[in-house]
Amino acid sequence: MAKAMLSRPASRVALQFAGHYTWPAMDEVPQPSPQSAPLDHDALRTRLEGLGSSLHLLQEIVFHAPVSLQLFDTSGRCVLFNPKHTELFGAMPPEDYNVFEDTVLEGAGVLERLRQAFAGKRSVIPPLWYDARELGNVHLDTGRRFALSAELVPLRMTGGDVTHVMAVATDVTEAVLAREKAEAAARGAAFLSEAGRLLNSSLDLGQTLSQLARLATPTLADYCIVDLVEADGSVRRVAAAHADRLGQPILDEMANFPPVPGSPQPARRVLDSGEPELLPELDADLLAERSLDPVHHQLLRRLGVRSHLAVPMRSGHRIVGAISLGYVLARRYRPEDIPLAEALASRAAVAIDNARLYGALARSEAALRELDRRKDEFIAVLAHELRNPLSAISNVGWALRSQALRPEMERSVNILARQTGRLTGLVNDLMDVSRITRGLVVLRPREVDLRELIDRALESVQVLVQDQGHAVTVECPDTAVPVRGDPARLEQIVVNLLGNAVKYTDPGGRIRVSLRTTQDRAVLQVHDPGIGIAPEFLPRIFDMFAQAEPGLSRSRGGLGIGLTIARRLVELHGGRIEASSVGVGQGATFTVELPLASPGAGEAGAGPAA
C-alpha cells in the first residue's frame, strides 16, 4: 500500500473492506513547493509504512470483531459493514439500502435515535427482535429470529462535525430468551396461584369453573371453554368465557355443540386420547375439518378462531373433562404454551374432584339426617305406644300388691313390679332422647343448691347401690353451691352418672362423689373403680347407643343412652362434661362443670331449650 502511494501521485488512498464499500483512510498527500525544504523520501516512506500497518491493523480489528459493525453516512447509506454483521443477518445490505427508509426501524424508534446520533448524541438501543417472517424482505433472507442490542456512536472528522455514525450491535438472543422465559414463568406462577386461590374458594362447581374460564381470558386465551365428563360418560359444557363481550353470545350458541363421541372437535379428541391437542394455525380447510356440521362451522367462522389449544383435565387415571383455549387475533399458541395450560387443567381437575366429593358428602349427610329424623320419629312413636300398656301393667301390679297374697304369688308380683319399673325407665329414656334430639326439651330454670340435688339422686339409686353391695362416699362443701337450672333435669344428670357407676362396678365397689367450686364454676365428679374405658373408645363414650363392651352392657341392662342424655342436658345448662380413664379395668371418672348462679339472679319463666 505504501509502495502504491509512493509510486503514484494519487489524491486519496482508499481501503477496501468486505463487499464493495470503501472507507476514506487519509487526506491528500502534500505536494512539495518550491519554497519548502527538500522532501525527505526516507522519512516519508517510514511514515507511510507505519500508516499502512495501522490501517491493516484497523482492517483486521473490524474484520474479526465479535460484534456487528455498520457505518452510516449522513445520507443513510451503509458505507461499511463487517463479516459478523453478514453472519447475523444472513446477507449483505442491498446496494440501494438506506437506513432512513427502513419503516421497521422507524416503527421501533431506532431512526429517531440515529438522527440524534448524527446530532452528536451517543445512545443505546434496547434489544430488538429481528424475524424475516415479520420484517419481510427488508434485508433478511434466513428466517432466523434473533435479538440485537445496539449502540450508536457519532464519529467526527477534523472539523468537529458528525460525518458518520457507527452502529455496534451485539447478539443478545440467549439473554433475552432467558429473561422472557423467566418473565413468562413468573406470570404463569402468578396466574396459577390466582387460579388455585379461585378454585379453592368455593365448592360450587359451576360457579368455580365459570370464574376459572373468565380468569383464563385474556391471560391465556381470547376465549376459554370448559367441558365436564358426567358419571354416565356424557359431556356437559359447564363454562365458556370470551374476552370480548361481543363474542360471548357466539360461545353461548356453541353450547349446543358439545364434544359428542366421534366428533372431530379438538376437545373430543383430547377426551378420547388423554393428550393435549395444539392447532397453531387454523386455516379454512382445517376449520371445516374440525366442525360438526355446517351450523357449527358457521359459528366457528363467526368466532374467528385462528389458533387453538385443548388440554385434558386428569384426575389420576381418569379424564374428568377438557379445557379449550383459543386466540382470535394475532397471537398464536406454541408448544411451550402447553405446560401452563396443563398445570391449569390439573388444578381444575383437583377442584372438580373436591367439589364432587363434597357434593357426595353433602348428599350422604342429608340422607343421614333424614334417617336420623325418621329414627327419632320412630323412637317417639314407640315410646308413646309402649307407655300406655306399661301403665296398665304397672297399675295391675300395684293393685295385686295391695292384696294379701300367698308367698309365691307375692314374689312373682314383686318381680313384675321391678321389671315394669325398669322397662318404664327405658321408655322414659327413649322419650327423653327423642325430645332432646328434636330440641323439644323444656327447661324450668331456677336457682338450686347442687348439694341437695346430689342427695336426692343418691336416694333414687339407693336400692341399686344396696343390691350391688357398693359403698358411696360424698365430699361436698359446707356452704351452698348455687347453680341455675331445671332441678329435675339436673338431678337426672346426677342419677344417670351414678347409675352408670353402679352398673359397671363389680359388687362391693367404692364409688366416690365429689363437689367443689372454682371461681365461676361448680365441678361435680363421679368416680368408680369399675371396668374402665379403653383409650380408643373415650371420644365416643357419649355417643348414642355407644357401649364399650356390648355383651357386658346388655347383661347389666340399659340401652347406652344415659350418658348421651347427660351430656345434652349439661350442654343445655351451659356446662360441659368429660370422661377419663387410665384404661380397661382401671375405673372411670366423669366430670361435670356448670356455671355458678350469678348473685341476685331472678326467676325465669319456662321455655324450650333449643
Looking at the 3D structure of the chain, how many domains does it have? 4
Q: Give me the pLDDT at residue 525, please.
A: 97
Residue 190's CATH number: 3.30.450.40
The mean per-residue pLDDT over the stretch 318-339 comes to 92
Helix (H) / strand (E) element for 297: namely helix 294-303
pLDDT band (50, 70, 90) for residue 182: confident
Highest mean pLDDT among 177-181, 534-538, 545-549: 534-538
The residue from 310, 327, 353 where one domain ends is: 353
With 70 as the cut, is the pLDDT of residue 31 above it? no
Q: Give me the pLDDT at residue 34, please.
A: 56
Q: Are residues 419 and 330 in the same domain?
A: no
Q: Are residues 406 and 512 in the same domain?
A: no
Q: Are residues 249 and 375 in the same domain?
A: no
Q: Are residues 311 and 340 in the same domain?
A: yes
The mean per-residue pLDDT over the stretch 199-216 comes to 83
Mean pLDDT of the chain, nearest integer:
81
Each residue's pLDDT tens digit, 48-87: 766 767 777 777 888 888 888 989 999 999 888 888 888 8
| pLDDT: which is higher, 373 or 365 | 365
Domain hosting residue 368, numbered range:
362-435
With 50 as the cut, is the pLDDT of residue 24 above it? no
Q: Of 224-228, 234-238, 517-521, 557-561, which range is least confident?
A: 557-561
Q: Are residues 265 and 152 in the same domain?
A: no
The 8 Å CB, 24+ separation contacts for 474-477 are 474/513, 474/514, 474/515, 475/512, 475/513, 475/514, 475/515, 476/451, 476/514, 476/515, 477/451, 477/515, 477/516, 477/517
Statement: the pTM of the whole predicted model exceeds 0.85: no
Each residue's pLDDT tens digit, 421-471: 777 777 777 777 777 777 778 889 999 999 999 999 999 889 889 989 999
Decide if 317 contacts 166 (C-beta within 8 A): no
SS3 of residue 548 by DSSP:
coil
Q: Give me the pLDDT at residue 524, please.
A: 97
Residue 69: closest CA among 172, 173, 165 = 165
Residue 387's CATH number: 1.10.287.130
Q: How far apart are CA 223 and CA 255, in angstroms?
A: 13
With 90 as the cut, is the pLDDT of residue 18 above it? no
With 70 as the cut, is the pLDDT of residue 8 above it? no
The residue from 415, 435, 455 where one domain ends is: 435
Q: How far apart are CA 222 and CA 244, in angstroms?
A: 8
Q: Are residues 20 and 109 in the same domain?
A: yes
Q: Give me the pLDDT at residue 23, please.
A: 42
Q: Give me the pLDDT at residue 546, please.
A: 67
Q: Are residues 161 and 185 in the same domain?
A: no
Q: Of 248-262, 280-294, 435-449, which range is least confident?
A: 435-449
Q: Are residues 208 and 259 in the same domain?
A: yes
Q: Give me the pLDDT at residue 17, please.
A: 40
Count H helices, E strands: the chain? 19, 21
Say which DSSP state 77 is in. B
With 50 as the cut, is the pLDDT of residue 397 above it? yes
Q: How far apart are CA 198 and CA 216, in angstroms?
A: 12
Say which DSSP state 596 is in. B
The residue from 435, 460, 479 where one domain ends is: 435
Each residue's pLDDT tens digit, 102-149: 887 888 888 988 999 888 888 888 887 776 444 433 444 445 677 888
Decide if 55 contacts 63 (C-beta within 8 A): no
The mean per-residue pLDDT over the stretch 96-105 comes to 86
SS3 of residue 264 by DSSP:
coil
Q: Are residues 341 and 237 in the same domain?
A: yes
Q: Are residues 16 and 89 in the same domain?
A: yes
* 447: CB partners within 8 A, 6+ apart: 482, 483, 484, 597, 601
| 608 φ, ψ (degrees, to nearest 5) | -70, 145
Q: Give me the pLDDT at residue 554, please.
A: 44
311 grid coordinates: 388440554
Q: How far apart are CA 418 and CA 262, in angstroms?
A: 77
Highest mean pLDDT among 215-219, 276-280, 542-546: 276-280
Residue 68's CATH number: 3.30.450.20
Q: Are residues 395 and 310 in the same domain?
A: no
Q: Give me the pLDDT at residue 177, please.
A: 83
Q: Are residues 144 and 196 in the same domain?
A: no
